[in-house]
Chain A
């Protein structure tokens, strides 16, 4: 009997020892107050951090934790870093960068001609979905918590080889100046505005403090201190649980806000804005005063299409922010053309302006859900890509308001029921914004218009899918189906496929969007792919914008016969010269369907390319500088 008691006691002691070992074996994160070389997390101004929310809201915490909002900014730990810190030397802008790691610590060694190499700690990361950027500590007492950006980012695109690439090459930025761009202090001045929660910049001393890295619970729900304090009382918690309709005044829930207020919560980051002068001044010290549930307009002016729909308004805006600021962000009619600023697009949509607050329409939450619903059949991986609600990839998204259309969708779209042409958003939310090396859906809900394509250069929904059709073809159908008066078209616009005009003669933004559309499955299915290679080839060979070259090669690899073609879009121009010949050789050997041998695609019936027209269009290319500030 005595032996049994001894055995049981020993068993308990062993269990305690194991638990302690596990607990102590986890390396602790440094006490934030001791950290001097990067922005630090502090619990101030009513912020309590997501860790506090987890115990009562495990589902919401778990879905947020798996989202890309959380990983927007992280401390550079082995769990967060996805890049291959291989210790190889890479050059950019006349400097050398060697990225390596010692155990759990990451570093960059920067070499400059005539200077000793300087090794800096990598302390923070940005992003994880498509790419990840790395920030090193300036480690200069005069610069406070200032960070510098390693000008190499790690590309993490699905179905593509993971690789290091110069940071400027991941954006559609002016290739002449981009490699020499210095980003010291960029995070502390700009990125922190939206890539962290509850930021207090203290910009004069660069003493950046924040409630939490990444976009966390309190970005959208507001500071949680009062809510946590009140609901420590279990009787109040259960009272709330049992009274589902009860309104909780201690915290903001964007799902229960009216659609416009709820959309402003997203709009605090997903828009382009100017702060009011008072806000601008105080923001540099204590951060933005906007909190979820506030009226965004009281501290900022969100810039959108309605601010530039007349010459006079546009001229005033140009005076305030500069022409280049607008050109880098908007199509000429004021529609947003860069990704991540969807709220600036949404607010110009009739669905938003004429929404029905009782029906909770229309706002961001009409289609998106920031916490994957319990029991949803979608995997976390599918959901977190664009955080759409269940069924919102179908016409259900639009039919929740336009119920009267549900029985007559094919009649309205003139496309076969269930086809990609019968999906509302393919016509009303085409991929006309650019970001993250791809085309992204416009969030200004609009109707296809050839006139707008002519005025702004923006691809219209019809020609962004029917890549083999001309603007005249589209204008004819819009007239026949919807009575839209056709605009006057030039001979090339009448005879040559719109996609070819844009990809050969358009500006870098148009080229990027059209090249991306050539890899978009619904467009490939309806337009065929056999004819596309000769039009992607010149982009891959000579386009000065690395992002355009990247998109062109990505689309080319989706075309049968080109999947394994050897090509590096960041190779020296001389090394890229051969790609044109290679692509033409493969293309000539492939069997081009008769349907693709037509004048509108610059291909004669025997399958030869109309080189003279092709060359002439290339010469008319719009080489105006494009710098899309996504």
Chain B
């Protein structure tokens, strides 16, 4: 039973490590692609009439990259938790994955086809992604509160053990 629980948490940790590093690769590549378009002064990206595209794709790149790092941080957080946390594993993890697809995806699609200063209709993915991210982050933050309590209990237990060595 204990072996299974450890396997479940590790599986989630591995998932986020894989997701984080692969998406980091993906969004850093997008960054390189954007820099290349800068280098070759491509009108499709740089012209004043494509300013909205430039903004949206830059935002897709930054959000994607930062969310990739959040995955790695999430994996680390999950790893240092002393025991299984079903809320984190069942809710925060898929929410974070969804946000990491919807947010940069929304920005990217919003810049693909746009209306003057307004991004394209793809930008509607963004608020959904933002909501998922909010859920994921709030769940994680709340779990860390439990971590504090559990660590304190653990530490207290150790102190008590130390105080009565003969028991």
Contacts and interface: CB of A to CB of B under 8 A. Distances in A.
B49 A238 contact: no
Interface residues of A, number: 15
Interface in A234-274: 234, 237-238, 241-242
A58 B121 contact: no
Of all A-B residue pairs in the complex, the 3 with the closest CB atoms, nearest first, are: A59-B49, A62-B48, A56-B117
Interface in A474-503: none
B116 interface: yes
Interface string B97-124: 0000000000000000001111001000
B65 interface: no
Nearest to A65: B48
A234 B118 CA distance: 9
A255 to B, nearest CB: 14
Contacts of B49: 58-59, 62-63, 374
Interface of B: 48-49, 51-52, 115-118, 121
B118 A238 contact: yes
A241 B124 CA distance: 14
Interface string A210-245: 000000000000000000000000100110011000
Contacts of B52: 58
28 contacts: A54-B117, A55-B117, A56-B116, A56-B117, A56-B118, A57-B117, A58-B48, A58-B49, A58-B51, A58-B52, A58-B116, A58-B117, A59-B48, A59-B49, A59-B116, A60-B116, A62-B48, A62-B49, A62-B51, A63-B49, A237-B115, A238-B115, A238-B118, A238-B121, A241-B115, A241-B121, A242-B121, A374-B49
Contact of B118 (A54, A62, A241, A374): A241
Judged by DSSP, the binding face of A is helix
B84 to A, nearest CB: 25
Nearest to A234: B118
Nearest to B44: A375
A39 B52 CA distance: 35
A237 B118 contact: yes
Contacts of A56: 116-118
Given A57-B117, A59-B116, 6 more contacts: A56-B117, A57-B116, A59-B49, A62-B48, A62-B49, A242-B121
Contacts of B121: 238, 241-242
B118 to A, nearest CB: 6
A234 B116 CA distance: 13
A244 B69 CA distance: 41
Interface string A59-93: 11011000000000000000000000000000000
Centre residue among A60, A234, A241, A242 by max chain B CB count within 10 A: A241
A238 B48 CA distance: 22
Contacts of B116: 56-60
Contacts of A242: 121
A168 to B, nearest CB: 39
